[in-house]
A and B are shown apart, each in its own frame.
Chain A
Amino acid sequence: MRESTLTFGRRGVAIVLAAVVVLMAVALLLGGRAAAGEEEAFGGSDAAATTQLEEAGHEPWFEPLMPPAGGEIESGLFALQAGLGGVALGYVFGRLRGRPARAPRTAEASG
């Protein structure tokens, strides 16, 4: 009740999540059509810019110090990055949710 102007309940969360799923489904569908006939569907936009620069005759003048040894390793490292962030987020959420309600609110409730 107290925060009805600021937050929404489960229904609101479900609607937002549904919107995310629908948006991604539409993106996959339209994107799949747009990418039809191209070498790789859903290639990265960063890579697309790099390819375009290379086609225009520009070469990088500096190489990455530690390029991942292959595509599988690279996607593994991306997974690691997301995983580490996810663990950290989960830890924070767990700490926040698990702590007792703050003192003033308890006083308000009992008083």
Chain B
Amino acid sequence: MHIAEGFLPPAHAVAWTAVAAPFVIHGTRSATRIVRENPSARLLLGAAGAFTFVMSAIKLPSVTGSSSHPTGTGVGAIIFRPPVMALLGTIVLIFQALLLAHGGLTTLGANVFSMAVVGPWVGYGLFRLLAAAPFMVRVFVGVAMANLATYVTTATQLALAYPEGGFVEAWGRFLGIFAVTQIPLAIVEGLVGVLLLNALISWARPEMDELAVLPTDAKEAARA
């Protein structure tokens, strides 16, 4: 989902930076608030950041014959709500833009918007919407769709910047590159996310309760 350095026209680069910036500022404030109000959640916050760091470094093969990487933002969005991931995702993207020349500074705003804003919000939104479904199904759908939504957003951003043959045609072309490749990888990330949440519920129950991640009725059932 990284748009390479210099590949967005300056006007688009500025516009996406302006769109993404408030989310990152808000995310920084929520992360600070969580750490202040809930110091024991710092470990989990580290885990959410580290998960994104690992996942976005691993390129996996896909059915289309190209490869791509997970985003790792869905898990953190479910545990801490999406704003925090705007900050954590941005840190990862800056690291990759500066040290790996992967993504870029001029495209940072667009990449932050797709990976650290849209992905987490779509994932968290679906997780909340599916309140009636079994918990791990909600986690799977949320994490997988956070991944897929990021890539759909990247395709949209490129189609907006380069609408050759019309926006719809360009969109289809970029979706063909990004979204189709991403489908099996989104499923894999969803499964890995389920395993991570499974482990955290067993090992970090007090923090999960403080952050109100788990459904209330299940919590009461567990206590009874």
Q: Which residues of A contact B (CB under 8 A)?
A: 2-3, 5-8, 12-13, 16-17, 19-20, 23-24, 26-28, 30-36, 38, 41-46, 48-50, 52-53, 56, 58-68, 74, 77-79, 81-82, 84-86, 88-89, 91-93, 95-97, 102
Partner of B68 from the list A6, A45, A59, A63 (CB cut-off 8 Å) is A45
Size category, B interface: 35 or more
Q: B54 and A5: CB pair below 8 A?
A: no
Residues in chain A near residue B66, CB distance under 8 A? 31, 35, 42-45, 48
The answer to whether A67 and B198 touch (CB under 8 A), given A49-B178, A85-B57, is: no
Q: How far, in whole Å, are A53 and B151 apart by their CA atoms in the complex?
A: 17
Residues in chain A near residue B187, CB distance under 8 A? 23
The answer to whether A64 and B184 touch (CB under 8 A), given A27-B60, A35-B66, A92-B50, is: no
The answer to whether A82 and B162 touch (CB under 8 A), given A3-B201, A8-B136, A27-B63, is: no
Q: B96 and A66: CB pair below 8 A?
A: no
Give the tally of cross-chain contacts (CB within 8 A): 197
B199 within 8 A of A: yes
Q: B222 and A92: CB pair below 8 A?
A: no
Looking at chain A's contact residues, is the secondary structure mostly helix, strand, loop, or mixed? helix
Q: Interface centre among B61, B178, B205, by most A CB within 10 Å? A: B61
Partner of B104 from the list A62, A78, A102 (CB cut-off 8 Å) is A62
Q: B198 and A8: CB pair below 8 A?
A: yes
